[in-house]
A and B are shown apart, each in its own frame.
Chain A
Amino acid sequence: MIMEKIAELFIILILVSVVLNVSSPFIKFAIKLYSFQSLMLAFYILMGAVHFNSINLYGSFVITVIFKVILIPYFLFKTLKKVKIDKEIDMYIGIPEAVVFAGSLTLLSNLIAQKIINTGITFGSFVFTISLATFLIGAMLMVTRKTLFSQIIGFLTIDNAIFLAANSITHGMPLLVELGVLFDLFVSILILSVLILNLRRNVAV
C-alpha cells in the first residue's frame, strides 16, 4: 500500500522531469534530467520489486541503474563536451506553446488510458496515463526540435516510457530480453554519438 503510493510519487517525478525538459532549451540540463528520470524509473521498479518480492524486478532495477542512469548519460556528456553546443536554438514552436501542447497530450493519453486499462491492473494508479504521456511528449520533443541531441533525448524519453509501461502492467519483461533491449539501446546511443561527431565535422549540427 505505502510502496504503491511512494511508487506513484516516482512516476509523477518522471513526468515532471519530462515537462521540465520541454521547458528548457539547455542540452546539458536535458541530459541531467534524463539521468534523473531514469533514476526515478529505477526507483519505481525497486518499489515494485519490494512490493511483489520479485527477483526479476530487482535484476531489472540493477541493469536500469547501470545502463540508463550511469552509462548512457556519461557517454552523452562525453559527446557533448566534444561537440561544444549548449543550447537548443532551432525549435519549430516556442517553449510555452510546447508546454501547453504537452499538457493537451497528457489529457489525450489519459482519455486513451482510461479506455484500455482497467484500474487495478497496474502497479500504481495512473502509471499507464503517465507512460503514454511521456511517450507522446518524447515524440513531440523529437518532432519540434532540430538539434541532434534533442532528438536523442526524445528517443530516450520514448524508451523510458515503454520501460515504464512494461514494468507497470507486467512485473517486468524477462531479464534476458530486458538485458538485450538495454544493450541495444546503449549501442544505438554510441552509434548516434559517433554520427553526431562525424556530422559535426562535416556540417553545422
Chain B
Amino acid sequence: MNYNIGHLIFGIIQFFTIILLAPFFAGFIHKLKQRARGQKGINIFQFYINFNKLLKKEIVLSKDATFISEIAPYIVFVSYLVILLMLPAFYRYSLLGVSSDVILIAYSLALATFFMTLYAMDQGSAFGGLGASREWFLTVLSEPSLIFIFISLAIYTKQGRITDIFYFIQKGAANAFLLGVNSDAVSIAIPFLLFISLFIVGISENARIPVDNPETHLELTMFHEANILEASGKHLGLFEYGSYLKLTVFLTVMSLILFPYMAVNIYQIPLALIVYILKMIILCILIAGVEIVSPKMRVFRVPNLLSVSFMLSLIAMILSIRGF
C-alpha cells in the first residue's frame, strides 16, 4: 500500500467525521426511544451540549484515588480513538489501515474496559467494585464471540487487516452480483451470521436494554453506570464520549459487514459518505426498535443470549474454514 497525501487527507477527514458524528448517533437512538414511548424527547444534539458542559466542570476525586484515576479516562478514550483510526468507515484507506489487525481491534476494546473497571475500583466506592465485577461478567462472556467474529472474518477473506477484509468482501460481492462472475469466496450466509452475532455482542457491550439499562440510576440494575458513578467533570465527559465512540465502532463494523461500500478514490467519497450515514441510521433504528420491544432481562438469563452469539460466530468460523 503506497501512502500518498490524498490517503492522509481523506483518512483524517474520515476520522474526524466519525468522531463528530458519534454523539449524534447515540442521541438519535435516545430520541427515537423517547418518541416511541410518547415522550417529547431530547434535542438530537443534546449529547454535544452535555459534553461541552462537563468539560467546563471541576474534577472531584476520592481521597483514596491513586494515579490510575488520573490516567484511566484518557486511556479509555484514546483506545476507542485508536480503533476509529483503523476502521474504514467510508474510505478504503484509513489512517492506521496498515496496522489495523483484527486481534488488535478486539483487544483495544478489552483494554478500554479494563481501565474503566480499574477506575471504578480505584475510587474505593462500594458501587465501583460491584459495577466492575458485573462489567467483567458481561465482557468475559462476549469476548469469545467477538474474537471469533473477527477471526472468522479474517479466515473467510484470508486477510489480516480490517481494511483489506472489507475491501475483499466488497470486491467479491461486486464481482458476483453486478458482473455475474462465479466466485465461491462470496457468501451471503456467513456475513449474515456474523451480523446477528455481532448485533447481540454489540447490545451487551454497549449496555443496551435487554442486557442493561443505563438510563436508570438504580443500583440493582446498574452495569455500565456503576463504573462511572464516581466520575465527574472532564473524566465523566470522557467516559460518556468514550461510550458513544464504542457504540459507533460497533455500528460501523456492523454496517460494513451488512453492506460494505467504501470509496477507493476521491470521487466516490460523497456517495460513500451518504451510504455510510444511511446504513448507520438504519442500524440505529434497528437498535432502538430492539430496545423498545424487549423488556430488560434477568442478569442470569444474559448468558443464554450471549451463548447464542458465541455459537453463531463459532458456526460462522466453522463454515468459513471450509473455504466458501
Contacts and interface: CB of A to CB of B under 8 A. Distances in A.
Interface stretch (B118-126, B152-160, B181-189, B256-264): B181-189
Q: How large is the interface on A (under 10, 10 to 19, 20 to 34, 35 or more residues)?
A: 20 to 34
B186 A5 contact: yes
B290 interface: no
Contact of B314 (A96, A106, A114): A106
Contacts of A99: 304, 307-308, 310-311
B193 A16 contact: yes
A2 interface: yes
Contact of B307 (A5, A11, A23, A125): A23
A8 B188 contact: yes
Contacts of A85: none
B308 A20 contact: yes
B177 interface: yes
B193 to A, nearest CB: 6
A23 B306 CA distance: 10
Interface string A1-29: 11001101101100110011001100000
Interface string A109-128: 01000100000000001100
Contacts of B196: 16
A102 interface: yes
Contact of B192 (A12, A20, A103, A129): A12
A107 interface: yes
B174 to A, nearest CB: 13
B199 to A, nearest CB: 12
Nearest to B144: A100
Contacts of A19: 308, 311-312, 315
A61 B308 CA distance: 30
B38 interface: no
Contacts of B304: 23-24, 95-96, 99
Contacts of B182: 1
B105 to A, nearest CB: 23
B176 A5 contact: yes
A8 B322 CA distance: 14
Contacts of A129: 318-319, 322
Given A12-B192, A95-B304, A100-B307, 20 more contacts: A5-B176, A5-B186, A5-B187, A5-B188, A9-B188, A12-B190, A19-B312, A19-B315, A20-B308, A95-B307, A96-B303, A99-B307, A100-B311, A103-B310, A106-B318, A107-B314, A110-B322, A125-B184, A129-B322, A133-B315
List of 5 A-B pairs having minimum Cβ-Cβ separation, nearest first: A99-B307, A8-B189, A12-B189, A96-B307, A125-B324
Interface of B: 176-177, 180, 182, 184, 186-190, 192-193, 196, 303-308, 310-312, 314-315, 318-319, 322, 324
9 contacts: A1-B182, A2-B176, A2-B177, A6-B188, A99-B311, A100-B310, A107-B318, A125-B319, A133-B315
